Amino acid sequence: MRILVIEDETAIADFVQRGLQAEGYAVTVAGDGVEGEQRALHDDVDLVVLDVMLPGRDGLAVLASIRRVKPELPVVMLSARATVDDRVAGLDGGATDYVTKPFSFDELAARVRAHLRRPRQRDATTLSAAGIELDLLGRTVHRDGVELRLSAREFDLLAYFLRHPDQALSRQQILSAVWGYDFDPGTNVVEVYIRYLRRKLELPGRPAPIDTLRSVGYRLTTRP
């Protein structure tokens, strides 16, 4: 597995590079946003660790470029900006995950492993199942030819289900994958957004294909 680290602080870049190499990954480091963007777009990499505050081109701009060209490439943001607004900006901008500095390398490595384990459709620009077609580049969704208008979070939630059709997904898995960081364990944000998504997926004679699995979680069912 090939990982690109885009980080301008040499000590942090070296620390992350050595740690990930010890985990068995091939690691390349870019020291500014311009070089990092070029490597992310043109090199064959499996995951990017991306700082937010970079010289030349900031991390959110680099992230936007990656999402336009490689929508399925996992990107873990690494930043000293730790407010809720900063994390939301990164995740809504397309980050797969968001880790704040100072950080534990063991946690960063665990998140990298988790994202690299997840099946992804390399270079795919559309996801489809159960009569639903989702365009990752155009950010459009159709079901049985009918266009559906989804919010950014509903779109990301549906994309996650479409990447795992007919699989039982726990509430915690969905939180981690779609929201990218830990919420209060008592939050009902997953339930709320699944309810929103079901309403929008329903068509006359065609119920939403998202099933609730008691004591387990949810499943996008593709079978009739």
Please check the confidence at residue 210 and state whether its pLDDT lies above 90.
yes
Please check the confidence at residue 187 and state whether its pLDDT lies above 80.
no
Instruction: Annotate the chain with three-state secondary structure.
Output: CEEEEECCCHHHHHHHHHHHHHCCCEEEEECCHHHHHHHHHHCCCCEEEEECCCCCCCHHHHHHHHHHHCCCCCEEEEECCCCHHHHHHHHHCCCCEEEECCCCHHHHHHHHHHHHHCCCCCCCCEEEECCEEEECCCCEEEECCEEECCCHHHHHHHHHHHHCCCCCECHHHHHHHHHCCCCCCCCCHHHHHHHHHHHHHCECCECCCEEEECCCEEEECCCC
- pLDDT at residue 118, rounded to an integer: 66
The percentage of the chain sitting over the pLDDT mark of 90, rounded to a whole number, equals 46
In the predicted model, what is the mean pLDDT of the chain?
Answer: 87
- pLDDT, one tens digit per residue, over 39-85 is 998 888 999 999 999 999 999 999 988 988 888 899 999 888 778 88
What six digits make up the tokens of 173?
A: 């898995």
- pLDDT at residue 174, rounded to an integer: 83
Out of 20-24, 84-88, 141-145, least confident range? 84-88
From first CA to last CA, the distance across the chain in angstroms is 38
How many CA within 13 A on the CB side of residue 222?
15
- pLDDT, one tens digit per residue, over 123-165 is 457 888 999 999 987 889 999 999 999 998 899 899 889 988 8
- pLDDT, one tens digit per residue, over 165-179 is 888 888 877 887 777
Out of 27-36, 89-98, 184-193, least confident range? 184-193
Model confidence at 107, in pLDDT bands (50, 70, 90)? Answer: confident
